[in-house]
Structure 1
């Protein structure tokens, strides 16, 4: 598999998903400020971060290939749940998600030269009831520490998921069909 795009993400899950659909990539650094703007809607926020990550990665690109940036957020009651700061924050997020439905939004952005394509995929996820002890045990597994909303659906966190409505891969961190569509769309504008 030869590198056909750059990936401006440190997420091992995004790398695995690109490999799953046979898209070659080369990693680039993409450090950005992820602070939400005042009154920024969740979908606008996640799109902005994906585009900023792709543009930050583009600054390090040595070849003229698409740069993919992505970001995933969890939203409940119009409140953004990012990565947990500490144990207390993680438990509080998991208890807020317990026995409720929330949305996971993943934005995918690709840039090439001055062209930008970006879209957001939203999936509804319903959790079963979770006890505080289960949330604490989950925290001690180490899995939630770097995950938006404090859980990973593809790991131990999957035990809390009662149902999903939408794209499973978007919840993991990269909607595969949308990613392929955006790559094709961007490359078609280059001809």
Structure 2
């Protein structure tokens, strides 16, 4: 079944405004597209307009949309992202991009995570892979949603992050870029996670597990933190590393074989 493409923008959790369009062409932010492919958006839809599920289904069933057995490149070193996609794509290549500047730019957290995702796309070397995926994930500071929390630098930094998140609600933002048949498409979404007050013993266990390494906010929802954290709103895949709508799109591609 083709992914839904609603005609109107949606509000994100906690009343946050929807992601804004990037100035880059071929931009998907949840539900609309902008393309540099003349008068048509990706998969042949009209530019700057909603794409109907019927139109998506027709294009996804075309021969050129078949991805089963093709070389698919996940340009990320994240084991969690690999675990999400490997059941969908048997030929999945798992290799990150070295040297990408992941310094957050100024602006809102959604702008920051989307900008870093686009940097990764721009750093992609020439490749014959018809399907390439890049992604980035950040947390909003629970005290100030305009500030981001990325990956901890070390164990002490992870401890500080977990102390800040303990007993609080927070937002997790994921941006995902998908290059399909030479055209980039982007999604950016937020989910809300609740973490109860953690005891010193629980914090020590989380830190000693090393599950904080390489994880935005210093935790892994499918790791030891899964015993404590609860998804309140939004897609679980957003917390794990892929925008929910992007994950739905990839699942649809994988099913057209």
Question: Normalising by the residue count of structure 2, what TM-score does the alignment of the two structures yield?
Answer: 0.64
**Is 1:111 matched up with 2:168?**
no
In the alignment, which of 128, 133, 157 is matched to residue 201 of structure 2? Answer: 133
**Is 1:35 matched up with 2:103?**
yes
1:73 match: 138
In the alignment, which of 204, 209, 215 is matched to residue 147 of structure 1? Answer: 215
Which has the greater radius of gyration? 2
SS in 1 for 2:135: strand
Q: Matched residue pairs, number?
A: 182
42-51 vs 113-122, which moves further: 113-122
Gaps of 5+ in 2: 1-67
Q: Alpha-carbon deviation of 1:45?
A: 1.2
Q: What RMSD in Å do the two structures reach over aligned CA positions? A: 2.4
Gaps of 5+ in 1: 186-191
The answer as to whether partners of 1:91 and 1:132 remain within 8 angstroms in 2 is: no
SS in 2 for 1:34: coil
In the alignment, which of 137, 146, 156 is matched to residue 88 of structure 1? Answer: 156
| In structure 2, distance between residues paired with 1:48 and 1:96 | 25
Q: Alpha-carbon deviation of 1:48?
A: 1.5
In the alignment, which of 82, 94, 97 is matched to residue 15 of structure 1? Answer: 82
| In structure 1, distance between residues paired with 2:231 and 2:252 | 31
The answer as to whether partners of 1:169 and 1:176 remain within 8 angstroms in 2 is: yes
Q: Alpha-carbon deviation of 1:6?
A: 1.7
| In structure 2, distance between residues paired with 1:5 and 1:125 | 31
